[in-house]
Chains A and B, each alone.
Chain A
Amino acid sequence: MLRSSQCTGRSLFLTLALAAVASAAAQTPVKGGSLTVGQQADIVGLDPATVSAASSTSVIEQLYSSLLSVNPTGSVQPELALKWTVSPDGLKYTFTLRPGVKFADGRPLTAADVVYTIKRITDPKTASPRQNDLGKIASLSAPNPVTVIVQLKEPFAPFLTKVASPLMGIIPAEYDKTHDLNKQPMGSGPFKFGAWVPGDSVTLSRNPNYWENGRPYVDTLVFKALKDDVTRMIDVQSAVVDLALSVPQNQVDRLKALPGMSVVGGPGTWYDYLGLNLAQKPFNDVRVRQALAYAVDRDSIVKTVLFGKGTPIFCGPVPPSSWAYATCKTQVLNLAKAKQLMNAAGYAKGFDMTIKVGADYKSQVNIAQAIQAQLKPLNINVKVMPMEWGAFLNDYNAKRFDAVVLGWIGSVDPDDFLYFQFHTGEKFNTQSFSNKQVDTLLETGRRTVDQAKRGAVYKQVQQVISSQVGYVFLHINDQYEAFRPAVKGYVHYATGSLKSLKDIWIDK
C-alpha cells in the first residue's frame, strides 16, 4: 500500500501530455506567484534513501534530481545524465553527466556525488527499502567528474528505470554526515527546501541554481497536508489550494461538472487483489483458487465500489499503459466453471473463510464485501474482517490470514509488479506462491535487456501466474487530480508523479 515509485501511461497520457504542452505553448508562461498543493498526508521526512511515503516522495521529487527520469509516457529520459551506454553483456552502465549542474547551495554536482549517493542507498546500515533495487553491484567508479560507471555482477534489466526513480535523488557527498537529510535536504532539483511545519505544510522556494533554463516558474511551492477527502476537495473549490491530489473516485464526476474546475487522470499503477494463503487448506489446491478467480465479477466491483473509476484486470497486474501488458483472459467470470472446479476439488459443500482488510482503506473493505456476496453461490461462507492497519500488518506479515484484499503500487518496470510477489521465497511473496516455471521466467525477465523479448517473457509469466492464481487479480485503480483554472502546464502522470510542477505557471 505504500505509494512509492514512478511510472507511466501510454496513449491517454500521451494525449493529455500533448494537450497540456499545446495549451501551454499557446500562452506564454509567466514567472512568479505561489502554488499550493493539497495532499493526503504530511511528509514523514525528506531523506530520499529511507522514506517510502507518497507524501514525502512528492516533495522529494521537487528537491532532488536523479540520474534519469521517466516521462509521462513511461520512457526513461535524461536528467542529470545527458547520455548513457550499456555494454552488450548488460553488465556495465556508463553515464555522462550534464556539465555545470549545481546543488541548491551552489556547490557543483560531480560524479563523486553520484557514486556516494548510490553507495549510501545500497549500504545495509542505511536500511533503505531500496537497497536491493539496483541489482547486484560489483563496482562503482567516477573516472572523471562527469562520468559514472556502474558494473553489475549479473544483468539486471530494470536497472535504468530504477535509477530513474525520484527516490534515487543525488545528494552531495558526505552531506548526510553533518546534516539530517530528513530536515535539511539538499539536492539539485527545481526547488529548494524552505520550512516544514509538522502536521500542516512544507514550503519550498525556487532553486536559483537549477540547471533547466527558466524553470521553475513559480516562486514558492507549498504542500499542505489535508487528510480528510472532503476537506481537500472543498479546499480546491474555495481556492485554499490550487491543486488537489487523490480526488476520491466518487467525487470525480461531480468535480468535473463544476465550472472552472479541471480534473485530469486515468488508470494509475495501483492495483487491488484478493490474496489467498496458499500455504494452507483449501487454497493449496489450485482448483479452489481457480474457482474463486472464476467466481469474482470484476466488472461489477469496478462499477459499484469504484464508481466506474477503474479497469478490471483478467490476466496480470501490469497496467495497459505498459509494453508488458498481457491481454489473456484467464481470470474471468464463469460461475459454471467455478462450481465444477469446487466439485472436482471436493468442496461441493463449500467452506468458511475470513478476508482480512485494512479498515482505513474503505474501498478495499467494500471490495471484500462484494467478494463475500459473489462467493455465496459456491457455498463459501466469507467473513469480512476490517482491521486497524498496524494490527492488520502484524497478521499479514506473520502469514496469519486466509485471505486479504490489498493493493500494490508498481512502478515503470514490469519487474516491480511481479518479481518480489511471485518468485519463490521472495520478500513480498506473503501468500507463499511457488511455481518453477514462473521463477525461471521472472529470472529471464531480469536478465533480458532487449525490451521486445522482455515484453514477451512478461506476457507469458503473467498468464502462468493468473492461471495458477498467484493472486485473484481484481482491477487497476484510476487516479485523479483537480486544479483551479489559474494553474497552467500541469501534466498528469499515471504513477502520481508531480514532476510537472516545475513547468507550472500561474495565470494571474
Chain B
Amino acid sequence: MLSYLARRLLTIVPVLLGITVIAYFLTRTIPGDAVAILLGTQNDPVVAAQLRHNLHLDQPVILGYFDWLSQVLRGHLGQSIRSGADIGPDLVQRFARSAQLSLAAILLAVVVGIPAGIAAAVRRNRWPDQLISVAALLGISTPDFWLGTILVLVFSLQLQWLPPAGYVPPSSGVLPFLKVLLLPALTLGLQIASIITRFTRAAMLDVLTQDYVRTARAKGQTQHRIFYGHALKNAAIPILTVIGLNFGFLLGGTVIVETIFSWPGVGNLVLTAINQRDYPVVQACVMLFAITFTLINLAIDLLYGLVDPRVRYS
C-alpha cells in the first residue's frame, strides 16, 4: 500500500511537469496580450513598449518559461501582471474560499443524492423511483446560472431571508457564514446531487442483479442486509468515482456560480485573469487545478480499497 502510494506520487511529477509546459505555452498563444488589455483602446505604442519591458514580456517565450519554472520550483508563483500583488498568498486564500463552497456543495450532494438513489433502486419502477428519477433529470438539466438567479430572486429579493451575494469568512460567525454559503452551495450541489442519485440508482440496480445477491436471497438474508450489507458496498466504487470527479471539478473553479454570487474564489480569479491575460495568475491556477485533481483521484483510488476489499494495490 505504501509503495503503491509512493509510486503514484512519483508519477504525478512528470504529469505536473507536462502541465507546466501546457499551462505556460497555451496561455501565451491566446491572441491579445496583457499590455494591450491593460491599455485597452488607449494603446500608446511608447507606453506599451516600456510596460512590456517592465513586465519582462519582451523576452523570448522559451526563456520566460525556464525563468518561471525555476521560480515555481523554488516555491514562488510570481506576481500578478495586473495588480503587482504576490500570487501565492492570494491563491491560497481564494482556494480556501472555493474549498469551503465546494465542500458544502459536495456534502449536500452526497447527503441528498445517495439516499435518493438507494430509495429509487429499492423501489424500482414504483412511484418513489419515478418521482426521484424525474427530479434528478430536472436537476441535471437545470443550468446553474438559471438556478442561481431564481434562488436569489426568491430567497433574497422576495422573501429577504438570505443575502443575494458576497462573502463572509467563517471566522466572523457561523450563522452569517452559513447564510451566504447556502444559496451558492445549493446552486452547485443540486446538480451534482442529481448526478449522484442517478449513478447510485444505476449502480445499485446493477449489483442487485448479480449472482451473489441471488445467493444471499436464497440463504434467507433480510432485504435490509442485502441492500445495505452487500449491494451498497459493491455499488460504492462507481459512486465514489463520480463524487471524486465532481469534487475535482468543483475545486477546479466554480466559475459561473462564483460570478453570480460574487464569491471571491479561484473560479472568479481565473476568469478575470484569463480576460486580462494575467499569465502568471492563469498559470498558477492551472497548476493548482492539476494538483488538486490528481490528488483527489489518488484519494479516490485509495478509498476503493477501503470500501471494497477485493481491490488490491500492487
Residues of B within 8 A of A180 (CB): 84
Judged by a CB distance under 8 angstroms, whether B167 is at the interface is yes
Q: Which of A52, A240, A394, A428 contacts B166 (CB under 8 A)?
A: A240
Q: Is the CB of A396 within 8 A of B41?
A: yes
Proximity string of chain A (222-241) to chain B, C-beta cutoff 8 Å, 1 when within and 0 when not: 00111110110011011010
Q: How far is the CA of A190 from the CA of B110 in the complex (A)?
A: 51
B274 vs chain A, min Cβ distance (A) = 9
B98 to chain A, nearest CB (A): 11
- A interface footprint on B41-69 (CB within 8 Å = 1, 0 otherwise): 11111110011011000000000000000
Chain A residue nearest to B41 (CB atoms) is A1
- Judge if A128 is at the interface, Cβ distance under 8 Å: yes
Q: Do A406 and B156 touch across chains, with their CB atoms under 8 A apart?
A: no
Known: A127-B50, A199-B268, A199-B272. A394 touches B83 (CB 8 A): no
Q: From A395, which residue of chain B is reached at the shortest CB distance? A: B31
For B163, list chain A residues within 8 Å (CB).
Answer: 238, 240
The 8 Å CB contact of B46, one of A42, A124, A390, is A124
**Known contacts A197-B264, A390-B36; is-contact A234 B164 (Cβ 8 Å):** yes
Partner of B262, one of A44, A132, A224, A360: A224
Using Cβ atoms and an 8 Å threshold, which residues of chain A touch B166? 200, 224, 235, 240
Complex Cα–Cα for A127 and B90 (A): 26
B152 contacts chain A at the CB level, 8 A cutoff: yes
User: Is the CB–CB distance between A390 and B42 below 8 Å?
Assistant: no
CB of A199 within 8 A of CB of B94, answer: yes
Check A240 against B82 for contact (C-beta < 8 Å): no
Q: Is the CB of B90 within 8 A of A198?
A: yes
A436 within 8 A of B: no
A427 to B44, Cβ gap below 8 A? yes
Tell me whether B50 and A2 are in contact (CB under 8 A).
Answer: no
Contact of A199 among B33, B37, B269 (CB under 8 A): B269
B36, B42, B82, B156: residue with the most chain A Cβ atoms closer than 10 Å:
B42
Within 259-276 of B, Cβ neighbours of A (below 8 Å) are at 259-262, 264-265, 268-269, 272, 275-276
Task: Please report the number of residue pairs spanning A and B whose Cβ atoms sit closer than 8 angstroms.
Answer: 142
| Interface assignment of A158: CB less than 8 Å from any CB of chain B | no
User: What residues of chain B lie closer than 8 Å to A1, measured between beta carbons?
Assistant: 40-41
Asked if A225 and B262 sit within 8 Å, CB to CB, the answer is yes
Please, how many residues of chain A have a CB less than 8 angstroms from a CB on the other chain? 49
Measured CA separation A235–B166 after assembly (Å): 9
Residues of B within 8 A of A (CB-CB), count = 49
Which of A129, A200, A240 is the one whose CB lies under 8 Å from B44? A129
Q: A127-B51, A393-B41, A427-B43 are in contact. Are A235 and B84 (CB under 8 A)?
A: no
The chain A residue sitting closest to B160, CB to CB, is A238
Of listed B30, B32, B152, B268, residue having the most chain A CB within 10 A: B32
Specify which of A42, A234, A427 is in contact with B165 (CB 8 Å cutoff): A234
Q: Are A393 and B43 in contact (CB under 8 A)?
A: yes
Q: CB-CB contacts of B23-40 with A at 8 A, as 1s and 0s? A: 000000011110011111
| In the assembled complex, B277 has its CB within 8 A of some CB on chain A | yes
Q: Does B85 contact A (CB under 8 A)?
A: yes
Of A4, A199, A234, A235, most B-chain CB atoms within 10 Å: A199
> Which of A2, A52, A200, A394 has most B Cβ within 10 Å?
A200
Cβ B84 vs Cβ A391 within 8 A: no
Question: With a CB–CB cut-off of 8 A, which chain B residues contact A227?
Answer: 259, 262
Cross-interface CB contact of B83 among A44, A230, A391, cutoff 8 Å: A44
In the complex, the answer to whether B84 meets A393 with C-beta atoms within 8 Å is no
Could you mark each residue 125-156 of chain A with 1 if its beta carbon is under 8 Å from any beta carbon of chain B, else 0? Answer: 10111011000000000000000000000000
| B111 CB to nearest A CB, Å | 28
Name B37's closest neighbour in chain A (CB-CB). Answer: A390
Interface residues of A in 203-258 (CB under 8 A from B): 224-228, 230-231, 234-235, 237-238, 240
Query: Given the interface contacts A228-B259, A393-B32, does A45 sit within 8 Å of B84 by beta carbon?
Result: yes
Which 4 pairs, one residue from A and one from B, show the smallest C-beta to C-beta distance?
A: A390-B32, A199-B264, A127-B50, A200-B264
Which B positions have Cβ atoms within 8 angstroms of A?
30-33, 36-47, 50-51, 53-54, 82-85, 90, 93-94, 149, 152, 156-157, 160, 163-167, 259-262, 264-265, 268-269, 272, 275-277
Besides the contacts A1-B40, A45-B83, A427-B43, what 6 more A-B pairs have beta carbons closer than 8 Å? A1-B41, A52-B39, A127-B47, A198-B83, A230-B152, A235-B166
Residues of A within 8 A of B (CB): 1-2, 4, 42-45, 52, 124-125, 127-129, 131-132, 180, 182-183, 197-200, 224-228, 230-231, 234-235, 237-238, 240, 360, 388-394, 396-397, 406, 408, 427-428, 430
